Amino acid sequence: QVQLVESGGGLVQAGGSLRLSCAASGSIFNINLMGWYRQAPGKQRELVAQITGGASTNYADSVKGRFTISRDNAKNTVYLQMNSLKPEDTGVYYCKALVVGRLYWGQGTQVTVSS
């Protein structure tokens, strides 16, 4: 099994920055894809950003130019650098990993952006 441990969430003012981290541990042979999703109360979970094993990236239109996803393969860790944060970025952020054809999720970390 694979465990995903997230950190870096918190409360920040609009225009500020946060960096989320997600460290994967356990029975890992190869991480094919890692990504970040978020969910606000009353809304569906949505893709924020993802990075493939080939290092290609994809972002939601709402975060392009503000968020950057990256990986440290030696540490099996994915990061989400969030700049110019807006109140609409508020939500629970979940880390996702696809490992040898199986999907794993982190427990979620709260990000709150005040106006």
- For range 65-93, the mean pLDDT: 95
Q: What is the mean pLDDT of the chain?
A: 94
Query: DSSP 3-state assignment of 107?
Result: coil
pLDDT digits (tens, 9 = 90+) for 37-65: 999 989 999 999 999 988 899 999 999 99
Cα–Cα distance measured from residue 4 to residue 21, given in angstroms and rounded to the nearest whole number = 10
| pLDDT for the residue 56 | 93
Confidence label for 68 from pLDDT (cuts 50, 70 and 90): very high
Cα–Cα distance measured from residue 73 to residue 54, given in angstroms and rounded to the nearest whole number = 12
Higher pLDDT, 33 or 12: 12
Query: Is pLDDT of 11 > 90?
Result: yes
